[in-house]
A = this chain, B = another copy of it.
Amino acid sequence: MVVRVAVAGASGYAGGEVLRLLLAHPEVEIGALTANSNAGQPLGALQPHLVPLAGRVLEATTPEVLSGHDVVFLALPHGQSAAVAAQLGEEVLVVDMGADHRLQDSADWDKFYGAPHAGTWPYGLPELPGARAVLAGSKRIAVPGCYPTAVSLALFPAYAAQLAEPEAVIVAASGTSGAGKALKPNLLGSEVMGSMSPYGVGGGHRHTPEMVQNLSPVAGQRVSVSFTPTLAPMPRGILATCSAKALPGTTADAVRAAYEKAYADEPFVHLLPEGQWPATASVYGSNAVQIQVAYDEAAQRIIAISAIDNLTKGTAGGAVQSMNIALGLHESLGLSTIGVAP
């Protein structure tokens, strides 16, 4: 099988990462690469790490350029994906790595994004209960946000096992690539090296409703989420520290058992041995998720911590994994659980 793939938005971080993975995918042939302001430039000038594609010239993001592919990955700013997708045939698998089609509730979309809601696509987080069945054969996939990926995988086993109260408190640290290549002063190297800082505090981050959307069905009730993202001085990685008060009668053994059960058969999620904690360096460049969980008896809280690479499992790796499922390929093709460390 040869899957012919185009990438719209190939000059950004998500686009570059999906190309990095697709270059190692045995069934994929890389077709058109498009950009907006960078159209006309060779990819090697913008993504010098993608040596095999260095000579490829970026084209404009048009339906003509994107047509004739089996799969089109959209790595576009939110608000642009829907328009592009509408111009692609229904037989094409469209994988949107942006936010346009993630949320189910249009009111959430309006509140957090403030533009007309483009609709909801099958959600590309295969490890959530029931997700693979929806993804199989689908022609449209909404790739989850990087934070919701890390947080949902850290917390859903506790909710699935009915161990936790429906009020989650989350503090997550992200590498700077999560903010993209946007030229903002606070993203300059001089500003971020040596510094930790929060942003979007108090419920304002756009990934919050996506976490609520993922956890509530598992819990069987609405889960409220207090989410504080922080910017960390590293290019990649998310460390999500998630906790919720334990329901009465919870034990450390029950917590451990819930996580072991949830992830026993997952190829990319690794519950670490007791006593070992996740580190973002361990999943650098890989599609793996490292998780550990503890029960704090004094505070009566379950504390689950996950580490992912925000660009891989958090974006492009999750996208390729979902593509594999949608196309009926082996789920792990082109993906690795081996990080680049130290």
Contact = CB atoms under 8 A, between A and B. Distances in A.
Interface of A: 13, 16, 20, 23-24, 42, 44-45, 47-52, 54, 167, 169, 171, 173, 175-177, 179, 181, 183-185, 187-199, 201-203, 208, 224-226, 228, 230, 232-237, 239, 241, 243, 245, 270, 272-273, 276-286, 288, 290, 292, 294-301, 303, 305, 307, 336-342
Contacts of A232: 173, 196, 232-233
Given A183-B183, A233-B233, A196 B277 contact: no
Given A173-B232, A188-B176, A283-B49, A294 B24 contact: no
Contact of A285 (B202, B277, B285): B285
A338 B48 contact: no
A272 B278 CA distance: 33
B173 A281 contact: no
Given A49-B339, A175-B190, A340-B20, A196 B236 contact: no
A191 B189 contact: yes
5 tightest Cβ-Cβ pairs between the two chains A and B? A49-B339, A202-B294, A195-B281, A189-B192, A171-B171
A337 B52 contact: yes
A198 B239 contact: yes
Contacts of A241: 171, 198, 228, 230
